[in-house]
Amino acid sequence: MVKILLVLYSAGSHAIDEPKLHGCTENELGIRSWLESKGHTLITTDKKDGPEFESLLEDAEIVITTPFHPAYLTRERLLKAKKLKLCVTAGVGSDHLDLDTANELKIAVLEVTGSNVTSVAEHAVMTMLVLVRNFVPAHDQVRNGEWDVAAVAKDSYDIEGKVIATVGVGRIGSRILERLKPFNPKELLYYDYQPLSADREKEIGCRRVESLEELLGQADIVTINTPLYESTKGLFNKNLLSKMKRGAWLVNTARGAICVQEDVVEALKSGQLRGYGGDVWFPQPAPANHPWRTMTNKYGAGNAMVPHMSGTSLDAQQRYANGVKNILESYLSGKFDYRPQDIIVIDGHYGTKAYGENKK
């Protein structure tokens, strides 16, 4: 019998409104009856801090958590979790875990690679449109009973003819570029230490730029699509933001901590950035006074932030719920025949899905 700890947000009445909302404590990714029929114990909680969570963690052999309501599994917590063998991320991005410590302790870490990449790509493209077209203040106007076209038109542009760049051209970054092509941008650029093949570049219609600073100096719109790890933590700081074209838009659906919170606020205020949008924050949930909730450019616009939701559409929830079940099945059957692309760390080493150039 295996003890499995599942950490999800609670959805309350929303779980009753929509049974396809799998990723909440009420619906439990649809795995309870399946696990119980096999004699395993599932403990579900929305607590991710405090003594109650810590004691549940210390008793669990498997922990499942999501990037949307992440249980931060620090070194200190992992060291105390003596029975822990497997951590599963229901979604993509396992930066809420101390991966080096997981390696040291031979705890496996897997995620459901690919499960929500289309959902995020769609959201990133939408965020670009929302920012560039200046949608949010325009919509606020009509809701408030106002009508002032000039006030919103003065900060509204077209995507057509712009240079658009992605930092990271993996599953999400490449999908974003593919979706942007029909908008007739001036150019689609990317920076990634793993170049695409010439055929793939041709198919997408994009060009690689060898240095990040050079890329940022050319782009009107930048989208961040790398994992969060040592080399990307705080990457977009005051210095790097100053290398961007003045008045560019920045979209970040990767991880909040890739950008330095106060430097983004300052760049927006000074006009270095015209807009910033995305769905990722640090920490999560974002505190009520997180400056990204209310930051604006000089026109009181340029903010397209939402809660961490891009990768958790109902379609994505079905896919990552299925993926979690497959990973559990593989572990519980003793076959350990995981999909290689899901493995972040296993048996004390980094797996197929490398987190950055150092982990290859």
Cα(273)–Cα(297) distance, rounded to whole angstroms?
8
Q: What order of strands is seen across the sheet that includes strand 187-191?
A: 206-208, 187-191, 163-167, 221-224, 248-252, 273-278, 303-305
Least distance in Å: CB of 141 to ligand NAI?
Answer: 28
Among 26, 263, 279, 342, binds ligand NAI (CB under 6 A): 279
Does 171 participate in binding ligand NAI (rule CB under 6 A)?
yes
Catalytic residue chosen out of the listed positions 255, 272, 274, 297: 255
Enclosing H/E stretch for 185: none
291 annotated among ligand-binding-site residues: no
Q: Which is nearer to ligand NAI, 188 or 228 (CB)?
A: 228
Q: Which residue has the tokens 């947000």?
A: 9
Total of residues contacting ligand NAI (CB under 6 A) = 32
Q: Which of 26, 27, 69, 93 binds ligand NAI (CB under 6 A)?
A: 93
215 binds ligand NAI (CB under 6 A): no
Q: For residue 215, what are the contacts with CB-CB under 8 A and spacing of at least 6?
A: 165, 167, 189, 190, 191, 209, 222
The answer to whether residue 284 is catalytic is yes
Instruction: Give the C-alpha separation, 174 to 51, whole Å.
Output: 42
- For residue 176, what are its two tokens? 């974003």
Interface with ligand NAI by CB under 6 A: which range of 5-13, 19-27, 164-172, 286-294?
A: 164-172
Contact 348, 101 (CB under 8 A): no
118 binds ligand NAI (CB under 6 A): no
Q: Determine whether 308 is an active site residue.
A: yes
290 as an active site residue: the answer is no
Q: How far is the CB of 32 from ligand NAI (least distance, A)?
A: 24
Residue number, 81 or 92, with CB nearest to ligand NAI: 92
CB atoms within 10 A of CB 59: 15
Least distance between ligand NAI and beta carbon 19 (Å): 22
Selection from 358, 280, 167 nearest residue 349 by Cα: 358
- For residue 172, report the phi and psi dihedrals to the nearest 5 degrees: -80, -50
Interacting residues with ligand NAI (CB under 6 A): 91-93, 116-117, 120, 167-173, 191-194, 225-228, 231-232, 253-255, 279-280, 308, 310-311, 356
Which positions make up the binding site? 92, 116, 171-172, 192, 227-231, 253, 279, 308-311
- Catalytic residue numbers, as ranges: 116, 255, 284, 308
Which positions make up the binding site for substrate? 92, 116
